[in-house]
């Protein structure tokens, strides 16, 4: 029997999966063959299993570089629940726990060891992992090694030295988010030569995409979350204050909401994260300080109350939804102030001119996604070099986006820019177009311009949207160092002179509060009747009790998909339960009896 055949057997017996997910078998076969592998796979596609399964199949020690202590602990608990010998070395462990792990490494009984890059930089750790004890090195969240990546961690730069110190063992690097620049940088930083590069797409078809211009952010977010009552979700905000405000709004509306940002005490952050990971139906309102390494599979929605930092960050953040493969929803609301703030952050940052150039491109790609006239998934995947048919699972596919000729409107707006010396921002220009003789307009004599009052056929929000779409189409540019003044680009000059045309989206001229995505997260691919839903509640209650007793996240017992299948199939014996997705031999022995008992009692009572 070949190693890949053994891997298939362990996939079923240990993890309870009947088949590999797309891309996993190719990666695992390459790892078992001893190759250096760089794998780029979408979130929720099972990247961790790609290095965990080989460690179970061929023995030896696989050392996993991971950025977060909380993530390491959850991964270890999940592996231990499967019967896999795993551990993690970190500063938060009690000294005796670290000694126990070190003794297991020396004895050769540990199969998977998680450690932060800072820990691996220590001489004693390198000595422990040397002397032939380590079979392979795996780097999780590999984009952290790249200065082009959105989560750059300087400590990751030491991984190459670590690999040499422990004997130049095979290296596996995995990430969900890496565009061309980041991939090249990762290869350069981690690998001595070209690795086996396996890029398995970026599409997450189960995630519904939706975006909307800001109208009333509070109302828009509350309306969106109201459709996901009792579900786990993440709301990203630009500032700490907005996190606190939105959490209060959500609690007032009857939702369970916690706050997570860097300004909170470490203990408060840890409690919020634990509540989110371990409980059902918790919403975390967070800045970008939250999320990397979060492996909760049943997040049913991710919302952005403000524009994300760039398209890679957007992809990574929405990718935290629906990791169990079941439907999940997203909503991003955005405004010109968001765009201006993001541009300022780039220009005021410490990056090199080249890094700032790349960041501008990434932000421009995100703006283009916001203002896309057709399928959002096509626009998103195009950034990563992929093409796809219209997805049918985004707001534009669901409701369509009517494109109309906006050349006249573009000429009016750009004429106002040109006649005011290209020195003013949006609100002043809109006041001119609407014929509003306010103090500032009168101060500069702009009430005397030919363009004063030429735009009264549209309202203020419509003109804001037109300017935003002109910006997204690169017909105008903004000087963020000069109070957001607008200037015409070469293509904008052509349109103003009648040498070009401008097509604009009609639907976003009148902002709407809700996304209108075609598929709801409430509709899963497993059909459950009313009685099945009642049983599912009972199974979740049992899972919650068991998880609390073991001090582990609920999904470590079983993920939602497994409980839904149990509610639908209703196995009456352990043998029948063994065929359910996610039920491996160890979990069947540990937990199966109680779940079978709950199913039988429910049937007897109903």
Residues 193-213 have pLDDT tens digits of 899 999 887 889 999 999 998
Phi, psi (rounded to 5 degrees) for 403: -100, 130
Tokens linked to 153:
């961690």
Mean pLDDT (whole number) for 479-487? 68
Question: In which element (H, E) is residue 302 found?
Answer: strand 299-304
pLDDT of residue 493: 96
Mean pLDDT (whole number) for 42-47? 78
Domains and CATH numbers, the chain: 3-199 (3.40.50.300), 207-399 (3.40.50.300), 403-505 (1.10.10.10), 530-605 (1.10.150.80)
Q: Which residue has the tokens 């470490």?
A: 266
Given a contact cutoff of 8 angstroms between Cβ atoms, the answer to whether 237 and 483 are in contact is: no
Q: Which residue intervals of 391-489 are DSSP H helices?
A: 395-399, 407-419, 426-434, 439-443, 460-472
Torsion of CA 73, 585, 14, 569, to 10 degrees: -90
Mean pLDDT (whole number) for 422-441? 91
Q: 234 forms bridges with which residues in the sheet?
A: 284, 302
Residue 341 DSSP SS3: helix
Q: Is 50 exceeded by the pLDDT of residue 123?
A: yes
Residues 495-504 have pLDDT tens digits of 999 999 998 8
Q: Which residue has the tokens 């491996």?
A: 584
Under the banding of pLDDT at 50, 70 and 90, the label for residue 523 is very low
Q: Is 50 exceeded by the pLDDT of residue 512?
A: no
d(CA 131, CA 149): 33
Strands (E), 337-427: 403-405
pLDDT of residue 185: 85
Q: Is 60 exceeded by the pLDDT of residue 322?
A: yes
d(CA 23, CA 198): 8
Of 477, 504, 236, give the one whose Cα is nearest residue 339: 477
Q: Is 70 exceeded by the pLDDT of residue 521?
A: no
Kindly report the pTM of this predicted structure: 0.71
pLDDT of residue 519: 36
Radius of gyration of the chain from Cα atoms? 27
Of 320, 375, 369, give the one whose Cα is nearest residue 212: 369
Q: Is 80 exceeded by the pLDDT of residue 300?
A: yes
- The burial of 556, by beta-carbon neighbours within 10 Å (0-12 exposed, 13-18 middle, 19 or more buried), is given as buried
Under the banding of pLDDT at 50, 70 and 90, the label for residue 72 is confident
Q: Which range has the top average pLDDT, 81-95, 392-406, 408-422? A: 408-422
Under the banding of pLDDT at 50, 70 and 90, the label for residue 400 is low
């Amino acid at each position: 029997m070949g190693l890949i055949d053994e891997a298939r057997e362990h996939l079923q017996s240990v993890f309870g999966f009947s088949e590999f997910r797309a891309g996993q078998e190719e990666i695992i076969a390459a790892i078992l063959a001893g190759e250096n592998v760089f794998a780029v796979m979408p979130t929720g596609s099972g990247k961790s299993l790609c290095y965990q399964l080989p460690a179970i199949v061929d023995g030896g020690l696989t050392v996993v570089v991971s950025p977060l202590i909380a993530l390491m602990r959850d991964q270890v608990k999940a592996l231990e629940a499967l019967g896999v010998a795993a551990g993690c070395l970190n500063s938060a462990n009690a000294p005796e726990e670290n000694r126990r792990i070190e003794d297991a490494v020396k004895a050769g009984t540990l199969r998977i060891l998680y450690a932060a890059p800072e820990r691996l930089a220590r001489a004693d750790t390198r000595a422990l992992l040397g002397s032939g004890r380590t079979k392979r090195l795996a780097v999780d969240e590999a984009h952290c090694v790249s200065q082009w990546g959105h989560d750059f961690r300087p400590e990751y730069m030491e991984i190459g030295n670590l690999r040499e110190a422990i004997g130049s063992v095979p290296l596996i690097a995995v990430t969900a988010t890496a565009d061309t620049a980041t991939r090249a940088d990762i290869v350069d930083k981690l690998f001595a030569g070209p690795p086996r590069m396996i890029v398995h797409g970026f599409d997450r078809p189960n995630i519904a995409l939706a975006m909307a211009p800001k109208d009333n952010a509070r109302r828009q977010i509350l309306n969106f979350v109201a459709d996901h009552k009792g579900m786990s979700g993440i709301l990203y905000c630009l500032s700490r204050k907005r996190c606190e405000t939105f959490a209060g709004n959500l609690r007032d509306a009857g939702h369970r909401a916690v706050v997570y940002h860097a300004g909170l005490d470490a203990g408060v952050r840890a409690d919020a994260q634990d509540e989110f990971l371990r409980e059902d139906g918790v919403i975390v309102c967070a800045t970008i300080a939250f999320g990397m390494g979060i492996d909760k599979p049943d997040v049913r929605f991710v919302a952005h109350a403000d524009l994300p930092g760039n398209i890679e960050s957007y992809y990574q953040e929405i990718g935290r939804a629906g990791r169990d493969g079941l439907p999940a929803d997203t909503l991003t609301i955005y405004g010109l102030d968001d765009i201006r703030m993001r541009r300022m952050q780039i220009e005021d940052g410490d990056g090199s001119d080249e890094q700032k150039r790349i960041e501008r491109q990434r932000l421009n790609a995100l703006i283009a996604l916001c203002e896309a006239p057709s399928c959002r998934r096509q626009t998103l995947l195009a950034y990563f070099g992929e093409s796809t048919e219209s997805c049918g699972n985004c707001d534009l596919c669901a409701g369509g986006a009517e494109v109309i000729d906006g050349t006249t409107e573009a000429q009016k707006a750009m004429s106002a820019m040109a006649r005011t010396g290209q020195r003013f921002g949006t609100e002043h220009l809109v006041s001119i177009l609407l014929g509003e003789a306010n103090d500032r307009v009168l101060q500069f004599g702009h009430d005397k311009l030919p363009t004063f009052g030429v735009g009264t056929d549209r309202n203020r929000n419509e003109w804001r949207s037109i300017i935003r779409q002109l910006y997204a189409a690169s017909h105008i540019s903004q000087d963020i160092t000069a109070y957001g003044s607008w200037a015409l680009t070469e293509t904008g000059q052509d349109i103003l002179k009648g040498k070009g045309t401008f097509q604009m989206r009609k639907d976003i001229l009148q902002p709407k509060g809700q996304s209108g995505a075609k598929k709801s997260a409430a509709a899963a691919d497993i059909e459950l009747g009313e009685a099945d839903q009642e049983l599912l509640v009972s199974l979740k209650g049992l899972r919650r009790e068991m998880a609390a007793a073991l001090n582990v996240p609920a999904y470590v017992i079983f993920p939602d998909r497994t409980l839904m299948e149990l509610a639908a199939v209703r196995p009456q014996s352990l043998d029948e339960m063994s065929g359910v997705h996610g039920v491996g031999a160890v979990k069947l022995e540990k937990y199966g009896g109680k779940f079978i008992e709950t199913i039988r009692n429910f049937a007897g009572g109903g």
